[in-house]
Structure 1
Amino acid sequence: MLWILRTGRKLTATEIADSLEISVRTVYRYIDALCASGVPVVAESGHDGGIRILESFKETPLFFNSVEVKALVDAYKFAQGAGYPYTEELESALKKVENGLHEEQRHDLSHQSNGLDVISPSRLPSVISLLRDLEQAVKGGLTVRMTYRKANAEQDDEREVDPYGLAYDRNEWYAVAFCHRSQAVRTFRVDRITRLEPTEARFEKPDRFSASVYFRDQSEREREADGPLTVIRIEGEPDTLNAICRHWHMRHYLTERTDREARFLLDVPTMNKHLPMYLMTFGTAIRIMEPLELKRRIQEVAYGIAKHYDEDSE
C-alpha cells in the first residue's frame, strides 16, 4: 500500500482495497500502522477527497517487530565478539534502525536485549586493520606482501600471496590465499601476520571459490588413506565429548552423538597416526569403547611415556 501511495496519486480506500484485494477495514488498519511508523498519510473527505502521502515524505521506513530488532542487536554482539572488522559501521547502521523506533519500541528493545552477552576472546588490536586490508585485497584482486610467523617459529618469514577469502573458525580469523612461494593454496592465521602491504600485482580468484568449502576439503585431505574405515566409540562426560566433537579434524567424522557417547567413522591409518596421542590428553575423562586396536595403541603410547620417566628416576 505504501508503494501505491508513493506514486503521488490520491486514492480512495475502496480503490486501494480493490487493487490489493483486501477489505476497506484492512486499508484503514494499514493507514494507522503507517502513521505509527512516521509516514505522513493524509486522508481527505469529500467529493475530491482521498488518501495520499505528503510530498515532503522521502524515505520508506523499515518495518521491524521487536524480536527482529533484538536479533539485529544480538548479531552485532556476536560480530563484535568475533572481531568483525566493520563493527563501527554495523553499530552506526543499528543506531539508524533504533532511531526509527518510537519510544515504546525503544523501551521494549532495551528490555529484551539485556539478556545476551558474548564473551570476546583476547585479540590484538592490529587484527582489525589487517582484516580490513585483507578484505579489500580480496575484493580488488590485489596481491599482498606479508611477514608471517608460524607457530613456535623463532623468526618471521616474508611471502607474497593472493588472498582468496577470509574465514572465522574456532575463535580465530584465517586468510585463505595462494602462496607464491609454495605455489599452492594455504591458510594463514591473521593474528600471526606481523606486516602487510599491497603490491602492484593483480590476480584472478578461482570461480565460485569458498573459504568454508576449502577448510572442509582440507580436513578431508588430512586423512592418511581412503580406507579401511572403522567405527570409533568414545564415552565420557558431555563437556569432554563436546571438546572432542568440536576438534577441527574430528568434527568432520562425527556420525552419532548422545549425552555420554560419540561415534566417529575414520580410516585406520589416520586413527593410528593421530588419535592415540590426542585422546591421551583427556586422561581418564574418556573411555575408548571401540575399536580394540585404538585402545591398544593408547596403551602402548602411555607405557612408552611411563617407561621414559621411569628411566629418568633411576
Structure 2
Amino acid sequence: MRADRLVSLVLLLRQHGRLSATALARELEVSTRTVLRDIEALSAAGVPVYAERGRHGGFALLPGFHTELTGLNHDEALALLVAGSRRGAQAFGLGAALASAMRKVVDALPESHRATAAGAAQRLLVDPETDLLARRPAAEEVPDAVVAEVRRAVFAGHRLRLRYAPADRDPTWRTVDPVGLVTVRGQGYLLATRSGADRTYRLSRILAAEELDEPAQRPDRVDLARIWQERSARFRTGGDQVAVRVRMDPARRADLVGTALAVLAEEAGADDGLLRLEVTFQDRRHAEWALWRLGTDAEALAPQWLRDSLRARATAIATRYGA
C-alpha cells in the first residue's frame, strides 16, 4: 500500500506542479506526518523532490523530471482519457490508439496481476453493439484521415478548412476556427466559430479537412460543457422547429418525450384516459418519424400537414401489403 501511495504522490506533484503537505494529505487520505515521511523516503530513493518555504510554498519535483511507466504515446494517452466511452474514442478516430494503449497498460502490469486483470475484464462489457432489443447504436462512420486532420487542428489551435455537406444541400468549402470536439450517443460534433459566429458541424458530414497554418481565433481556455449546453439550448428554441399536438396512450409518453425537443403543454383526458401533449420537434421529418414509430398508440391532432403525411404513408404501406 505504501508503494502505491508513493507512486500517487509523485504523480500528484507531476500533475499539479507544487502542493502543500496539507493538500497532499487530503488527496492521499493520510496525515501530514505520513506525507512528510513519504517525502523523505522519495528523496532517499533518488526522486528529486524539494520543499519551497513561505506562504505559497509546498513540495515540488525538479523541472524536467518525469517517469515512463507505460511508454504511451500522445494519441494512446488521449484515447485512455476518453475511454469512458469506447464509442467516444471511435468517434474521435482514436479506436486503434485505444486498443494499442490498453495492450501497453496490460503489459506494464506485474505478472501476478496480469492474469487476474484479464480474467476480470472478461466479466465486464461496456456499450455492446446491440441492446436487448437487438438495436444497433446510431454511431456514425467518419474517415480516419478526416477526423485526424480535424483533431490536429483543434489541439494545435490552427484554422481548419472543411468541405461540409449540410442536410439537403450541396457540399461547400468553408474556413472555421475550431473550438473543441464533442461526442453524443456515438455521434461526433466539431464546435467552431466562423467569422465570429458560433457553428456546430457533424463529423460524419465533413467530407474533407485541411489544417491551415493560420492560428485560430479562439480563447486560450474553454469550457466545452458550458458551450455545448448553450448551443443545445439555442438549437431547441430556433431553426425550422415544428410544434405538434398529440393525443396518446400514457404508457407511451416516455417514448414520445424521449425523442421530442421540448414539452410545451400537457394534460390528461378526462373521459378517454389519453394524454394530450404539445411538443416540439427539430423539423418536419423529425416530427413524422417520431409519430410514425408510435403506431396507433398516438395520434397527431395538429398540424394538418403531419396528419396528411402519416395517412399517406399508412395508405402506401396498406396498399403494398393489401394483396
Query: In which range does the TM-score fall when normalised by the shorter chain?
Result: 0.5 to 0.7
In 2, the alpha carbon distance for the partners of 1:141 and 1:54 equals 40
- Aligned pairs for 1:220-239 (under 5 A) are 220-222=236-238, 235=249
Q: Post-superposition shift, 1:218?
A: 2.5
1:297 alignment counterpart: 302
- CA–CA distance in 1 between the matches of 2:121 and 2:171? 44
Superposed CA offset, 1:214-238 (max 9, x none):
442233432889xxx9998854666
Change (3 A) 1:215 1:113: farther
Identify which of 163, 167, 176 aligns with 2:191: 176
Matched residue, 1:286: 297
1:143 to 159, 173, 183: 159
Could you tell me how far apart the structure 1 residues matched to 2:275 and 2:216 are? 44
Contact 1:276–1:298 (CA under 8 A) maintained in structure 2: no
- Describe the superposition over 1:155-177 as per-residue Cα deviations: whole angstroms up to 9, x where unpaired: 32111111111111232111122
Q: Which AA in structure 2 matches 1:185? A: D
1:205 Cα deviation after fit: 1.5
* Aligned AA (1:184): A
Q: Which residue identity is paired with 2:148?
A: R
Maintained 8 Å contact 1:130/1:196: yes
Amino acid in structure 2 at the alignment position of 1:176: L
Per the alignment, residue 179 of structure 2 pairs with 164
1:53, CA displacement in angstroms? 8.0
Are the structure 2 counterparts of residues 200 and 237 from structure 1 closer, same or farther at C-alpha, using a change threshold of 3 Å? same
The residue number in structure 1 matching 2:55 is none
Q: Deviations over 1:172-224 (max 9, x none)?
A: 111122224xx622221112212211233323324645242244223343288
Give the letter aligned to residue 159 of structure 1.
R
Distance between the aligned counterparts of 1:85 and 1:252, measured in 2? Answer: 32
How far apart are 1:103 and its partner, in Å?
A: 4.0
SS of residue in 2 equivalent to 1:296: strand
Note the alpha carbon deviations across 1:85-125, whole angstroms, 9 max, x for none: 23344334333332233445323322222241532766546
Give the distance between the partners of 2:154 and 2:81, measured in 1 at CA.
28
What is the aligned residue count? 244
Which of 99, 104, 110 is equivalent to 2:107?
99
Gaps of 5+ in 2: 11-30, 48-65, 71-79, 130-136, 267-273
Q: Give the structure 2 partner of residue 20 of structure 1.
A: 34
Q: Calculate the TM-score normalised by the size of structure 2.
A: 0.53
Q: 1:245 to 1:101 in 2, by over 3 A?
A: farther
Task: Give the TM-score, by structure 1 length.
Answer: 0.55
Q: Cα distance 1:172–1:283, how it changes in 2: closer, same or farther (>3 A)?
A: same
Structure 1 residues 142 and 78: alpha-carbon distance in aligned structure 2, compared to 1, 3 A threshold: same
Structure 2: distance between partners of 1:80 and 1:144: 22
Residue equivalent to 1:116: 125
Residues 264 and 177 from structure 1, CA distance in 2 versus in 1: closer, same or farther, beyond 3 angstroms?
farther
Gaps of 5+ in 1: 8-16, 22-26, 28-40, 42-51, 63-71, 289-294
Return closer, same or farther for 1:109/1:297 CA change in 2, 3 Å cut-off. same
- The 1:285/1:305 distance shift into structure 2, 3 A limit, reads closer
Percent sequence identity is 17
| Kept after mapping to 2: 8 A contact 1:162/1:203 | yes
**8 Å CA contact 2:181, 2:190 repeated in 1:** yes
1:166 corresponds to which letter in structure 2? L
Moved more, 188-197 or 115-124: 115-124
1:280–1:298 Cα contact (<8 Å) kept? no
Bigger radius of gyration among the two: 1
Amino acid of the residue matched to residue 149 of structure 2? D
Alignment partners' CA distance in 2, 1:75 and 1:284: 38
